[in-house]
A and B are shown apart, each in its own frame.
Chain A
Amino acid sequence: MAPIKEVVFDKTYDAPLLQVWQAWTDPEIIKQWWGPDNVIIPECTVDLRVGGEIYIVMEAGEAMGPYKGTRWPMRGEFTVVQPNSKLAYNAKAWTEGQEQETEIDQVTELNLTEENGKTKLHLKATINKTGPAAGMAVQGMQAGFTQQLEKLAEFLKK
């Protein structure tokens, strides 16, 4: 059956492989980059083994106005864990309080390789199922991002 949406990214990071791997698997590090600006990560746990759980909660901060305090949890189960190389998990994301309507079932597959001290990332993210109001949930997550993009562009110019 056709997935609802599939996105693929290839990106090279000017950082050693281990650092990028840790950024994806160490909950304390995930908290530092996973959410956009104006969004905090109050909870994150990672049980790094096949069948283990990944749990990340994003929470809208002050600057997100009407969305402030909204929580978007994501709970998943690892299907592939190959240290410093491959990571995959099936996860469900939702808006807290509207779990049924806003549910998004997704599969995330990550592939890392090192080349000349840089790390190549290949990411495939697939939405397989959405609740009837999932569009709203995706929009909510999007709300703080425009500003984030501008900040990133500024940062990269330096």
Chain B
Amino acid sequence: MTNPAVTIETVGKRFRLYRERNQTLKSAIMRGRRSVHEDFWALRDVTLQVPEGSTFGLIGSNGSGKSTLLKCLAKIYWPDEGKITHHGRMAALLEVGSGFHPELSGRENIYLNGSILGMSRKEIDSKYEEIVDFSGVEKFIDQPVKNYSSGMYVRLGFSIAISVQPDILIVDEVLAVGDAEFQQKCLLKFRDLRETGKTVILVSHSMQAVKTMCDQVAWLSKGALMAVGDTDSTVKAYTDSLDLKRD
């Protein structure tokens, strides 16, 4: 096994379920303390390693903690237990086009969004053509993005995010965007990434996509890690468990 690109050690993430959420001063003062809550562990004791250069899939039913794990990886959530270490530049594609300003043009938004994703102006300058080209919106690049169709919006967002050229790319179900042609383009892009030795971590509900793309898969259920291993056996274990429930 090659070096791990990402190491996840006994990671746990706790959410507070508020019976009464005190977001107002009045209720805080009336009750005398901040709030009444119960702990809910969305993730507990998850340990796994993602090998460098692999495409790694996370599968599981709704509410199994996949997205929470992804958000912990992307540093949006901080794990309450354990730690996550990674080597190399990381970029997360949890939602494309977040941070677009509707009144600004596509061009201005490329620079804005690029810098939110951590690119320097120089980097964006050098990749500008590529981004516009990949998104296929060059005709409308000087129009405010609020006039874009939802497809154009998403394509532009995706093109910017993919141009960050991370060593580790984290993707959450965003492949289900755009038309068939654009999806094809995306798949090719992922293959490129893989061939250049980049690590991709993705969440998907489409077992078909997971089977074609991933080298390894981790199966999560109710916040716990059920199995990690090569794609076919893990996906099979997962689908078998679903069949079992149905029977």
Are A and B part of the same complex? no
